[in-house]
C-alpha cells in the first residue's frame, strides 16, 4: 500500500499552526517541500512527525517546528539573499529557497553536501548554491547577506557571520552549550547589533574555527 505523504504533510502543517507558527508563507513552503525525500527510505514513515531524524555523518534533519520557527524568525521576502550554515539533508535549504531569491549553503560533511546538491537539483531548485566548507567562517565572496541562518548549536555567534550580515539584516543562531541552546536573533543596525533571545532548542554542535572543537579524530 502506498503511503499517503500528502495527508501527513497537511497534518504536519496544521499542527505547526496549532503550535503557534503564524507566517503564512512559511507554512505554504512547508506544505510544498516533500520532507520524505530528505530522509532515508527506512525513515520516511516518520518524516512528518515533529522530531529530529538522523541523516548520517552525525547530523540530523531538524524537527518541523524548529525549521518553521527559525524560518519565521528570519522574516524573509523574495528579494533576499540568504546564507545557511549547515545544509544537512537540504530540507531547510529547500524551505528557504521557496521564500528567498538566493540561498547559499555551507556544509562541512562532504557526503551530505553532495547528496543535498543532487536532491535539490532533482527537485528543480535553481536558486541554491552549496559548498562543502567550514560554515563558521561564512562565505565572504557572496557577502553581504540579507539573512543568515545557522542550523547548528554555537557557543556564540561566529564573528565572521556578523561581519557578512548586511545592515538591516537578521541572523538566527542557536547559542548555548553543546547539547542545549536558545534561539537568538541578531539585527544588524547602522551603528551596532541588537540581540534578542528566544526559545530553547537542541542542535548538534557547530564545529569549525569559530565554533566548538570537533570530537573527530
- Active-site residues, by number, are 62
What kind and span of H or E run contains 72? helix 64-74
Burial string for 161-175 (b: 16+ CB within 10 Å, else e) reads bbebbeeebbbbbbb
C-alpha span between 78 and 25 (Å, rounded):
11
Residues 6+ away with beta carbon under 8 Å from 171: 147, 148, 149, 150, 157, 161, 162, 165, 185, 186, 188
The answer to whether 138 and 164 have CB atoms below 8 angstroms apart is: yes
d(CA 132, CA 68): 24
DSSP structure class, residue 43: G
**Cβ–Cβ < 8 Å for 209, 136:** yes
Amino acid at each position: 500500500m502506498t503511503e499517503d505523504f500528502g495527508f501527513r504533510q497537511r497534518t504536519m502543517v496544521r499542527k505547526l499552526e496549532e503550535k503557534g507558527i503564524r507566517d503564512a508563507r512559511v507554512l505554504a513552503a512547508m506544505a510544498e517541500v516533500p520532507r520524505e525525500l530528505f530522509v532515508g527510505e527506512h525513515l520516511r514513515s516518520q518524516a512528518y512527525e515533529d522530531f529530529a531524524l538522523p541523516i548520517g555523518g552525525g547530523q540530523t534533519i531538524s524537527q518541523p517546528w524548529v525549521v518553521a520557527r527559525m524560518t519565521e524568525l528570519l522574516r524573509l521576502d523574495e528579494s533576499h539573499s540568504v546564507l545557511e550554515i549547515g545544509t544537512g539533508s537540504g530540507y531547510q535549504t529547500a524551505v528557504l529557497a521557496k521564500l528567498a531569491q538566493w540561498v547559499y549553503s555551507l556544509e562541512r560533511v562532504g557526503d551530505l553536501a553532495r547528496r543535498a546538491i543532487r536532491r535539490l537539483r532533482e527537485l528543480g531548485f535553481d536558486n541554491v548554491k552549496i559548498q562543502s566548507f567550514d560554515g563558521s567562517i561564512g562565505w565572504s565572496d557572496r557577502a553581504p547577506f540579507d539573512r543568515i541562518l545557522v542550523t547548528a548549536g554555537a557557543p556564540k555567534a561566529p564573528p565572521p557571520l556578523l561581519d557578512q550580515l548586511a545592515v538591516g539584516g537578521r541572523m538566527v543562531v542557536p547559542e548555548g552549550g553543546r547539547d542545549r541552546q536558545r534561539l537568538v536573533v541578531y539585527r544588524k543596525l547602522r551603528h551596532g547589533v541588537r540581540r534578542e533571545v528566544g526559545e530553547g532548542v537542541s542542535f548538534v554542535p557547530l564545529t569549525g574555527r569559530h565554533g566548538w572543537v570537533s570530537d573527530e579524530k
